[in-house]
Amino acid sequence: MASNEYGADNIQTLEGLESVKKRPSRYIGSVGKQGLHHLVNELLDNSIDEALIGECDTISIVIEEDNTVTVEDNGRGIPIGEKEDGQRAVEVIMTNLDAGGKFDSDAYKVSGGLHGVGVSCVNALSSELHVTIKRNGAVWKQTYRHGDIATDLEYVRDLEPDEDTGTKINFDPDTNIMETDAFEYETLRQRAQELAFLNPSVEISVSDKRTENPQSEVYRYDGGISEYVEYLNEGREALHEEVIYMEDESDGKSVHVALQQTDSVQPSLHSFANNIQTEDGGSHMTGFKTGITKVVKKYAENNDMLDDVQEIKGTDVREGLTAIVSVTHPEPQFEGQTKTKLRNTEMRKAVSQLLHDRLQQYLEENPDVAQKFVRSTVRAAQARIEAQKAEKVVRRDSALTSTRLPGKLADCQTNNADNSELFIVEGDSAGGSAKQGRDRKNQAVLPLSGKIINVEKHRLDRVLENDQIADIIQAIGAGVGDEFDLDNLRYDKIIIFTDADVDGAHIRTLLLTLFYRYMTPLIEEGHVYAAQPPLYRIRDGGQVYDAMSDEDRDRIIEEEISGKPDNVQRFKGLGEMNPDQLWDTTMDPENRILKQITIDNAKEAEQLLSVLMGPNVQPRKDYIKSNAQEVENIDI
C-alpha cells in the first residue's frame, strides 16, 4: 500500500497574488456569479471609503460595450509616489495582498475593505486591468495583466484647473479562473442604490453600454436610511407617517437607526457595518432587537397598555417593523472574508443604548406614535397566542403530522435526496403529462390545482390550513417555519413548473413567497429552481429547434434555418405538451434550462414581494404601470 509523503518539500510559499489565483473562493466567496460581482463591490468599497472621510461625492459604475467594468470616483486618487524601497505606492497596492491605506488610521478612520485585499484581488483575477489616477496635478495611467505590472506608470497630461482628483479602474475578469464574466446590470444597480441610501449626498450612477438602448440610473438620497425605510415600505401601510431616525457617534464609532411600523405581518430588518451588508446580522442587530424590545415593553407597562397579554416578546415588537441599522467602526471584525456577520461585541451595547435613550425619548414626546406602536405590538402578541393555539389544532388535524405522502404526489423511486428532483407543476393536465414523461427513478411530480394562498397576508396558522400548501410541505419533508430542517429534505432540487403567462407568473410568485417566508434555507442553499419551458418548437427537415421567446424564434429562423421552416408550433401552456415534449424540452437534464433562485439581495426581494403581494393596492398599480413597457416575456 502506497503512503502519502508529507514533508518539507510539500510546504509551498505563494508569492504576490498567487494565493488569490490558486484559491479565489477564499477571498471573494466563489468563482461564479456571486464572486464576479464581489469584484466590483471590492472596488466600490474603496470609493465609498473615500466618501466616508468626506473626500468623494461622485461614483460611477459602467459595464462597457466590451463587457469590462469601470469604477470611477472623485476621491483623492491612489498615491503614486515612491516608498522608501523605491517601489511606487500604486504598484504595491495593486500587487500585494497585505498593502493599502486601510491599515493607517490617519488615512482612513473607517473602512469597509479593512483586510487590504480588495483591489489586489480584483487585479489578481483579471486578465487585464487599467488604472487611471488623477493626483498631484496630473493624470497617470498604468496597465496590469493577470495581476502583474504590464506597463510603467505613465504621465498622460496635466489636470485642468477645475478638474477633480480621483481614481478610475477598468478590469476584465480572467475567464481562466472565473466561471463567468456575465455581469448583471440589475445586481450592480441594486448595490449602487443601496450605497446611495447608506451614504447621504453621495451621487452614484450605474450604466450598461452593452445593449442597443443602454440602461442607466443615477441615485442620490439626502435623507439617507430614512429614505431607505420609505422605499422598502412602498408596498406596506405605515402606521405612523414619520420615519423614526436616531444616531450617535463616539470614539470613532457611529450608529444610525431608522424605523417605521407597518400593518404587515412580516418584519423587514436590515443591517450594515461600514457600508457592508451583514446578512447574518451580528452584535449590532442583537443590540437593536434587545433595545427596541425593552423600550416598547417598558412604555406599554408604564402606560397600562398590555391588556390581557402576560408577556411581550421580541417577535411581537418586530412584527410589521421595517428598520435599517447601519454602524461604522474603525476596526470591524467580521465572520468570514465575505463579511456577513459583525462580531464587535461593543456594538451591541452601543446600539441598544441608543434605542434606550433616543427611542424612549421619542415615544414620550410623540404619544400618538407611541400609542400606535404599542397597540400594534400588543395585537401581535394576542395574535401570536391565538395562532399558537390554532396552529396546534391545524397541525394535529392536518397531513403535516402524518407520515403519508400527498395523494397527488407521484414520487420517485430513489431514496437518495442528493439525486432527486421534485417538480411542482401548474395544473392537473400538465401534471399528468409530467408524470408520464418524467424519469421515474429520480423525478417526482406534484400537480397544483390553481393558486395557493398568499402567505404575505397571513400568519402561519392560516397558511397551514391551505391543503395545497400542506401537500407541498409534506412532499418536501423538511417542515416549515421555525421547525424547518434541511437535514430532512427529500429532494435536492425543488423545480417550479408553471406556464409562461400571467397566471403562471402569479403562481410562481406565490410559491416563491411561501419558500422565502417559511422555508428560507431552501433558497439560501440553492435548492429552488424555475423551469424554463419553450414558447415555440420549430421544425425544419429533420431538425427540431426550441425557442424561449419571440426574439429567439426569429433568430433561429434567420440564422439556423435561413428560410421558411416547415412548422412553427407555439405552446400556450404546459398542458398543450404531450409527455414526450415535456421531457425533451423541460425535464431532460441534457436539454432543459433551469433558473436557480437565489437571494442575492434579500431587501430588494422583500420590497418587491411587499409591492406585488402585500395589502396596499396603489404601489402595485404604480409598479405595473411603470414597468409594463419593459415586459417582453412574463417570467421570474
Catalytic positions: 426, 499, 501, 503
What cell numbers appear for 72 in the block?
470611477
Sign of CA dihedral 504, 507, 510, 516: negative
Q: CA nearest 186: which of 226, 232, 217?
A: 217
> Based on the number of CB atoms within 10 Å of its own CB, is 382 exposed (0-12), middle (13-18) or buried (19 or more)?
middle
Pairing outcome for strands 543-547 and 536-540 = antiparallel
Residue 564 buriedness (CB in 10 A; 0-12 / 13-18 / 19+)? exposed
CB-CB contact of 68 with 219 (8 Å): no
Check: CB of residue 63 under 8 Å from CB of residue 188: yes
What is each CA distance from 337 to 50, 113, 279, 333, 524, in whole angstroms? 21, 10, 13, 10, 18
Rounded Cα–Cα distance for residues 18 and 121 (Å): 10
Q: 291: which residues sit within 8 A by CB, 6+ positions away?
A: 351, 352, 353, 354, 355, 356, 359
Residue 72's SS3 state is strand
Using only C-alpha atoms, the chain has a radius of gyration, in whole angstroms, of 27
Q: Taking Cα atoms as reference points, which of 77, 49, 50, 89 lies closest to residue 138?
A: 77
424-to-120, 444, 475, 579 alpha-carbon distances in Å: 45, 9, 10, 16
Q: What is the DSSP secondary structure assignment for residue 486, as one 8-state letter?
A: G
Cell of 459: 400568519
The Cα–Cα gap between 177 and 199 comes to 33
Half-sphere exposure of 221 (CA within 13 A, CB side): 18
DSSP characters over 152-221: --EEEEEPPTT---EEEEEEEE-TTTSS-----HHHHHHHHHHHHHHSTT-EEEEEE-SSSS-EEEEE--
> DSSP string covering 362-376, please?
HHHH-HHHHHHHHHH
The Cα–Cα gap between 168 and 61 comes to: 10
